[in-house]
Amino acid sequence: MRNSTHGFFLRSILMIALTLGLAACGDDNSVDAGHSSRLANTIGTEVVFTGSVGDGPVTGASINVISVRGHTLATLVSNSQATYHARVRPAMADYPLRLVVSGGIDLVTGRQPDFQMESVMARATETIVNINPFSTLVTQVARRLPGGLTEANISTAKSLVMGRLSFGLNRSALPDPISTPITAHNVAQMVKASEALGEAVRRTRDQINASGQPMNGNTVVRALAADMTDGHPDGLGRPGVNPTVTAVFNVVTGQVLVEALSNNLRVDGVIATGVIDQSILSTFAGVRSNQLTDSVRVTADLLTEARVAVAAAQVLDSSGALASVANALGNIAVSATPAGVASVLPASSTNSLNIAINRVSTASTAQVNAVNQTVFAMGDTGSGSAGPGNDGTGTTAGGSFSLRWTAPATRSDGTPLSLSEINGYNVYYGTSRGNYPNRHVVSNGSAMNTTVSGLASGVYYLVMTTYDSAGREGQRSGEVTKNVP
C-alpha cells in the first residue's frame, strides 16, 4: 500500500492503536510545588494538579515530574493521606508529563511498592493525575505504541487496558483511573481493584521466580505493557512481549479475581480485607463503614475477566474442582455483593487454581500458547471489550463484525487534517495474523462505523487506513481481532 510524508494514522476507540506526531522539544521549565525538592528555571504557565498514589495507598513516596523530553521538572512527596499536590510551570512542549514514583510505604503490604508506578498528564488543563497500577500500564502501553507518548496514544492505551483488565473497576463510577477524582463513594473500589492488579503482578513475579527464572515486578509490568499494545493479553504484541509471563499472569489472575469477588483477596498469602479497609480509613476522611470493600459490587467486566482467566487455567488442569469454580462463576449475577458471591463459590475456590498456577511457569510452548489463545478468543466476545467508558462495539452474529472509530485530526507529520479532506477508510482483513488479503472500503469520509458482512465463522484480524481527497493513503493502524460466531 502507499504511504506519503503526509500520511496519517486512524485512531479507533475500538482497539485500533495509532499515533500522531511527536511532541516538539522545549526549554527547561519551572515548578513551584509545596513538596518539591528540585526546581527548574521559570517558564510556561503555572498548572496546579493533585492525585492519589496507590497500589494500596502509598505514603512518603517521591514523585518525579518528568517532561516528554526526559527533564525532571519537580520532585514531590505523597503525604500521610497518600496524595500529593503540585504547582508546576511546564512549557507546552513539555507535555505529556510523566509522574514516576519511587520509595514510600504501601499501607497494605507495609513495604515499598513491588514495582515502579507511574502516571501521565496529557495536557495542561488536567487537574487530577492519579498514580496506580492502571495508570502504570496505560503509560507503559502508550510509550510502546507507534510514535511513543502522545496524547492520542494515551487515549488509545486507556481503551486498550481498561477494555480487558478492569479488575473490578466500575467504569460508571470510575471512568478513568487517572483523571477521575477519588471520593468516599469510589475509593474502596479504586483501592480494591488496584490492589488486585498489583497482586496479580506480584504473583506472576513470584511464580516465575519459583521456577528458577529471575524476574522482578518491573519486568512483569513491561512485558504486559508490550503485550497489551494490541488490546489482548495473548502473548503477542510489540517487542518485549514474553508469552510465558503473559500466560502466568492470565492464570494467576483467575485466582486473584476469584478472591476479589468474595472480598477475600490475599496479599502475601494472607487474607488482606481488614488491612485494605484500614488503609482506606486511615487515608481518606469521611468514609463510612458501609463504604468499604465489602460494599463493592460485582461488575460485568469483572465476571468476564474471572471466567476467561479460569478457562485459561483449565487448559492446564481439567480437574472437577476447577470445573466447579468455572460453573459457579456462571451463576454469579452482575451487581452481586461479595457476601452473595461467597455463598455461590466453593469454599476452596482459591486453592482449586493452585495446580494450574504451579504448572504454568514451566509449561511447554504449546501449552503457553493454548493458555494465551484461550484468553484472546474468549475475551474478544466478552462484555469486558465494550463496557461503559469504551466505545468499541462487540462482534455481531450472522457472519459479520462491526467497527467504530474516530477520525484523525492530524496527519502523521503533525499538520492539521480537516474532516473535509478525508475521503474514506480501508479495512484490510484476513484469517491469520499479519495477513490481510481482503479489503472493505468505506467511501464516506465522515463515517464513524461500518459493518463487514458475508463472513464465515472464525477469528479475523484487521487493520485500517485513512485516505484523503488526493488519494493518499495513511499508514496502517495496529492489528485488531474480531470473532465471528
CA gap 25, 95 in Å, rounded: 10
CA gap 31, 88 in Å, rounded: 4
What pLDDT score does 448 carry? 81
Express each pLDDT in 207-223 by its tens digit.
999 999 999 999 999 99
What pLDDT score does 403 carry? 84
CA gap 473, 466 in Å, rounded: 6
- Per-residue confidence in pLDDT tens, the chain, 485 aa: 334 434 444 433 333 433 222 222 333 322 333 333 333 434 678 999 999 999 999 999 999 999 999 999 999 999 999 999 999 999 999 999 999 999 999 999 999 999 999 999 999 999 999 999 999 999 999 999 888 999 988 988 998 899 899 999 998 889 899 999 999 999 999 999 999 999 999 999 999 999 999 999 999 999 999 999 888 898 987 889 999 999 999 999 999 999 999 999 999 999 999 999 999 999 999 999 999 999 999 999 999 999 999 999 999 999 999 999 999 999 999 999 999 999 999 999 999 999 999 999 999 999 999 999 889 878 754 333 322 223 333 333 458 888 878 788 777 777 888 888 898 899 999 988 888 888 898 888 888 888 888 888 888 888 898 988 877 888 888 788 887 87
Angle between helices 133-144 and 151-164 (to 10 degrees): 130
Neighbouring CB atoms inside 10 A of 11's CB total: 25
Neighbouring CB atoms inside 10 A of 285's CB total: 8
Among 122, 100, 223, 230, smallest CA distance to 176 is for 122
The answer to whether the CB of 473 falls within 8 A of the CB of 422 is no
What pLDDT score does 159 carry? 85
User: What is the helix (H) or strand (E) element at residue 84, kind and residue range?
Assistant: strand 83-89
- Global pTM reads 0.75
Q: Is the peptide bond before 96 cis (omega within 30 degrees of 0)?
A: yes
φ, ψ at 154 (rounded to 5°):
-65, -45
What pLDDT score does 398 carry? 52
For residues 95-125, b (16+ Cβ closer than 10 Å) or e, as one string? bbbbbbbeebbbbbbeebbbbbbbbbbbebe
Grid coordinates in use for 53?
498514589
CA gap 111, 151 in Å, rounded: 33
CA gap 349, 341 in Å, rounded: 11
Greatest C-alpha distance within the chain: 66
The answer to whether the CB of 363 falls within 8 A of the CB of 371 is yes
The answer to whether the CB of 64 falls within 8 A of the CB of 75 is yes
CA gap 168, 203 in Å, rounded: 18
CA gap 232, 10 in Å, rounded: 19
List the domains of the chain with CATH numbers.
30-155 (2.60.40), 187-382 (no CATH), 405-484 (2.60.40.10)
Grid coordinates in use for 391?
466505545
CA gap 79, 61 in Å, rounded: 8
